[in-house]
Structure 1
Amino acid sequence: MSENDAKPRTPAFKIRDARFVLGAAHPNQFPNLDWPEAAVAGRSNVGKSSLLNMLLQRKKLVKVSRTPGRTRQINFFAVNEGFHLVDLPGYGYAKAPGSERKQWFELIRRYLSDRPQLKIIVLLLDIRREPSAEDLGALEFFRDAGVPCLVVLTKADKLALQQRRKQVSSVAKRLRLDPGDCLVASAEKGWGREEIWNSLLCFLSPESTDAAPAGALPPG
């Protein structure tokens, strides 16, 4: 297991500029740019918005809501005017109407199938919870789409070190992965930022890093 949960470190990669581009409720609204993209996915309330803000070193660029299921479109953020980080709608929000969930699913399906700019998906899981059937389905869905997937366990600061290590092993077993394939992160503490960026840059800007894409699972 990586010791990325021990303390925050400043990566060599610098965020010079980060801005919200647009929110797309339909595929014809996706940005018409050929920039490479990394999409972030996960259950509602897994901490996507907070983790994106941590990665981008911006406190309020991505709106954080106390109400699960508020992200109802695909939100695009430009980074250093060279690639996009993409916030996908959270899945698993039971109170959302069935028609709305179906609409979200179709939007994500179209994004995965029609977006050659998409280079990698970051799947966020709460380290305190065992992966649900929906989490397993999402991982399979993303891999079947032919896109590499990076599994990141969020909210690591909520557990003591030994509990974190135990839970990483448990989650990895449930996902049928090696524990080293799961990165550990905390948006509140800044843990995992360097490791996540190192993996993402291997796909978004391979000429800028010599690092191997730690934890990134190849497409199924």
Structure 2
Amino acid sequence: MSNPLQGAQFVLAAHRVHQLPADSGAEVAFAGRSNAGKSSALNALTGHRGLARTSKTPGRTQQMVAFSLPPVAQGEGQPSLEARLIDLPGYGYAKVPEPLREHWKQEIDAYLNQRKSLRGVVLIADIRHPLKEFDRMMLEFCFATGLPCHLLLTKADKLSRNQAAQALAAMRKSFPDGLHATAQIFSSPAGTGVEEAREAVMRLLREGRVASDE
């Protein structure tokens, strides 16, 4: 099967929201704690091993990084969508200085609330551990704003297949009613769930935010 995310290219790294590419087209944000395997997941999904920097020292992504994608086809008669992936700074790692941590908290909040082209969030979380405060905050934001979220439970290769399946089932049960979120098992080194995750990203790019009932 061809990879719809192949051809992703680095565009820029932004310290502030207003430095990102023009707020048009469609983009999906990747969020997660610094040690959850976000860069490895981006590299696996795009098929570009060196696209996002990986490091044995978590917290290396300290800017919002924009990657362009090939245009996304829409329905018949509609123009293709300009598409991007946005890698948000890894959050919560203890060695990041407090002023920088507070800066990114504010910038991530501004990004999520201001970007009209944002179609959805891919949230990266280590399958071996319960969701952290940042993860829960992200899910709550998506719930409150109707923003679709796809949860990648990474590092599944560290568990048995049965343990991973149980963790996934428990995670899905914990979602509140009305949360437009999906979840899956994922492992970058083992290639587990890569095709499923690519399909989820493309679905987010095409479908976008859920209309509010208010």
Q: Per the shorter chain, which TM-score range?
A: 0.7 to 0.9
- Structure 2 distance, partners of 1:99, 1:93, is 13
Cα distance between partner residues in 2 of 1:120 and 1:144: 13
User: Is the contact between residue 88 and residue 108 of structure 1 (CA under 8 Å) also seen in structure 2?
Assistant: yes
Q: How many residues align?
A: 201
Moved segments of 4+, more than 6 Å: 216-220
Note if 1:196 corresponds to 2:197: yes
- Cα deviation code 1:61-106 (max 9, x no counterpart): 1110111112111000111153111101111112222211110011
For structure 1, which segment, 139-148 or 71-80, has the greater mean C-alpha deviation from structure 2 after superposition?
A: 139-148
Instruction: Name the residue aligned to 2:141.
Output: 141
Question: Contact between 1:131 and 1:174, CA under 8 Å: does it hold in 2?
Answer: no
Q: Which among 57, 60, 73 is matched to residue 70 of structure 1?
A: 60
Contact kept in structure 2, 1:19 and 1:77, CA below 8 Å: yes
Of 9, 30, 35, the match for 1:40 = 30
- Provide TM-score, normalisation by structure 2: 0.83
Identical-residue share of aligned pairs (%): 37
How far apart in 2 are the matches of 1:53 and 1:47? 10
Residue 22 of structure 1 deviates from its aligned partner by 0.4
Distance 2:141 2:58 in 1: 22
Q: Deviations over 1:132-155 (max 9, x none)?
A: 233212221343344211111111
User: What's the counterpart of residue 184 of structure 2?
Assistant: 183
1:93-132 mapped onto 2 (5 Å cutoff): 93-132=93-132
Q: What amino acid maps onto 2:160 in structure 1?
A: A
Backbone CA RMSD of aligned residues: 2.6
The equivalent residue for 1:50 is: 40
Quote how far apart the aligned CAs of 1:114 are. 1.4
Matched, 1:205 2:179: no
Amino acid at match of 2:113: S
Q: Which runs of 5+ in 2 are unaligned?
A: 72-81
What TM-score comes out, normalization by structure 1 length?
A: 0.81
Aligned: 1:166 with 2:137: no
**Which whole-Å CA distance do the structure 2 matches of 1:74 and 1:219 have between them?**
28
Query: 1:21–1:77: 8 Å Cα contact kept in structure 2?
Result: yes
How far apart are the structure 1 equivalents of 2:69 and 2:39?
Answer: 15
Rounded to whole Å, the distance in 1 between the matches of 2:101 and 2:211 is 27
Q: Which residue of 2 aligns with 1:3?
A: none
Aligned residue for 1:123, secondary structure, equals: strand
Contact 1:38/1:121, CA 8 A, preserved across alignment: yes
Report the alpha carbon displacement of residue 168 of structure 1 after superposing the two structures with TM.
1.4
**Deviation, structure 1 residue 156:** 1.0
Contact 1:152 1:183 in 2 (8 A): yes
Find the residue that maps to 1:186 and give its secondary structure: coil
**Equivalents in 2 of 1:152, 1:138: separation in Å?**
13
